[in-house]
Amino acid sequence: MRNYAGRILIRVPSELHKDLAREAFESGRSINQLCLEAILARKALRRYDPWKAIEEIWRQNRRVKPKRAQLDILRAISEVRHAR
Q: What is the DSSP string of the chain?
A: -----S-------HHHHHHHHHHHHHHT--HHHHHHHHHHHHHHHTT--HHHHHHHHHHHTTTS-HHHHHHHHHHHHHHHHH--
Split at pLDDT 50, 70, 90, the class of 12 is very high
Closest CA to 36 of 25, 47, 24: 24
Average pLDDT estimate for 15-33: 95
pLDDT 10s digits, 40-72: 888 887 776 766 766 777 777 677 777 777 788
Confidence (pLDDT) at 84: 55
Distance (Å, whole) CA 23 – CA 60: 36
